[in-house]
């Protein structure tokens, strides 16, 4: 697969990817060794292999006694803060916008801390760029966080500790070397400005982030929907998969020409139902791209 991918890039005369996010094999356990992924894509010698930060954080979650612990959410949120910092200019602009919204409603100015509470996660993700703090800073912060949580402070009201001492110390020993692998790649813009939005009289930038393997994982979710039902024989499974991928490529091709469609489902039964209903009620198909499944002819098809 890797060889095929490199071949397709080469034949298309397209510059190879600069960064690849992975959930494992980001680096070699041996000093000066090469990561397996980098060796696999040997032709792309400029390729930077990075570990997906969400996966990195999940490895620390393996050191807790239970995810139902009172302090679990706090621990994970603080772990994320050990890794990321927000762009201060973006945050200042969002504060200003929120203040503007309050003023418009006749509310007197409030403190920055109070404003923080009014900012939703969605707003933060849309308007504020994040960046990694660098290896030294992150190492120092995670060590301090583990030291704190692995002490009396890491117990709930009943005295149950959040962290399993042995396990979390082992996780820390194993994961330290990957702090280099989660740092944002140098000289590579991870954010794309998608537009602006006016809020509280302030013009805010909207961003889309390319960091991590989230977009790929969203695609996995679609792959799931290509297969109807919960069981299929191997040959049907493959047929569904190929047919789904064909539809996917078709849609991406059309999107490039006609712009984005509002439809996001790949479930053929849902699309069939919508097509039939819209024909009945609106006398036209809402989904121009929909093609009804072919009728069974009784003949075996051959390619």
For Zn ion, the binding residues (CB under 5 A) are 26-27, 178, 181
d(CA 118, CA 109): 13
The token pair at 102 is 């309050």
| Residues paired with residue 285 on neighbouring β-strands, in sequence order | none
Q: Least distance (Å) from Zn ion to the CB of residue 237?
A: 34
103: how many CB neighbours lie within 10 A of its CB?
Answer: 13
d(CA 91, CA 88): 5
Q: Are 19 and 185 spatial neighbours (Cβ–Cβ below 8 Å)?
A: yes
Residue 188, H or E segment: none
Smaller CB distance to Zn ion: residue 175 or 268?
A: 175
Q: Least distance (Å) from Zn ion to the CB of residue 177?
A: 6
The token pair at 231 is 């069981």
Smaller CB distance to Zn ion: residue 27 or 115?
A: 27
SS3 label, residue 238: helix
Smaller CB distance to Zn ion: residue 188 or 237?
A: 188
Residues 6+ apart with CB under 8 A from 83: 53, 56, 57, 132, 133, 138, 142, 182
Smaller CB distance to Zn ion: residue 179 or 204?
A: 179
Q: Least distance (Å) from Zn ion to the CB of residue 20?
A: 13
Smaller CB distance to Zn ion: residue 36 or 278?
A: 36
d(CA 63, CA 65): 7
Q: Least distance (Å) from Zn ion to the CB of residue 39?
A: 14
Q: Least distance (Å) from Zn ion to the CB of residue 50?
A: 9
Smaller CB distance to Zn ion: residue 181 or 227?
A: 181
The token pair at 205 is 């930038």
Q: Least distance (Å) from Zn ion to the CB of residue 248?
A: 31
């Amino acid at each position: 697969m890797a060889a095929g991918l490199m071949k397709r890039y080469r034949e298309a005369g397209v510059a190879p990817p600069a960064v690849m996010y992975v959930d494992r094999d980001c680096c070699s356990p041996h000093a000066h060794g090469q990561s397996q992924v980098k060796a696999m894509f040997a032709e792309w010698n400029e390729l930077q292999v990075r570990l997906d930060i969400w996966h990195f954080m999940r490895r620390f979650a393996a050191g807790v006694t239970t995810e139902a612990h009172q302090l679990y959410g706090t621990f994970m949120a603080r772990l994320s803060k050990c890794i990321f910092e927000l762009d201060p200019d973006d945050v200042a602009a969002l504060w200003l916008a929120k203040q503007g919204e309050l003023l418009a409603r006749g509310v007197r100015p409030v403190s920055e801390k109070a404003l923080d509470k009014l900012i939703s996660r969605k707003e933060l993700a849309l308007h504020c760029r994040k960046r990694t703090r660098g290896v030294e800073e992150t190492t120092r912060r995670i060590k301090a966080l583990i030291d704190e949580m692995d002490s009396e402070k890491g117990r709930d009201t009943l005295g149950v500790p959040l962290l399993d001492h042995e396990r979390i110390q082992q996780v820390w020993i194993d994961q330290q070397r990957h702090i280099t692998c989660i740092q944002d790649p140098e000289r590579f813009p991870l954010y794309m400005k998608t537009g602006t939005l006016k809020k509280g009289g302030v013009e805010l930038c909207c961003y889309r982030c390319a960091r991590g393997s989230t977009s790929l994982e969203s695609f996995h979710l679609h792959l799931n929907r290509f297969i109807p039902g919960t069981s299929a024989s191997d040959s049907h499974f493959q047929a569904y998969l190929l047919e789904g991928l064909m539809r996917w490529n078709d849609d991406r091709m059309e999107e490039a020409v006609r712009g984005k469609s509002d439809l996001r489902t790949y479930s053929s039964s849902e699309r069939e139902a919508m097509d039939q209903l819209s024909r009945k009620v609106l006398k036209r198909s809402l989904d121009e791209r929909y093609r009804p499944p072919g009728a069974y002819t009784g003949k075996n098809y051959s390619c």
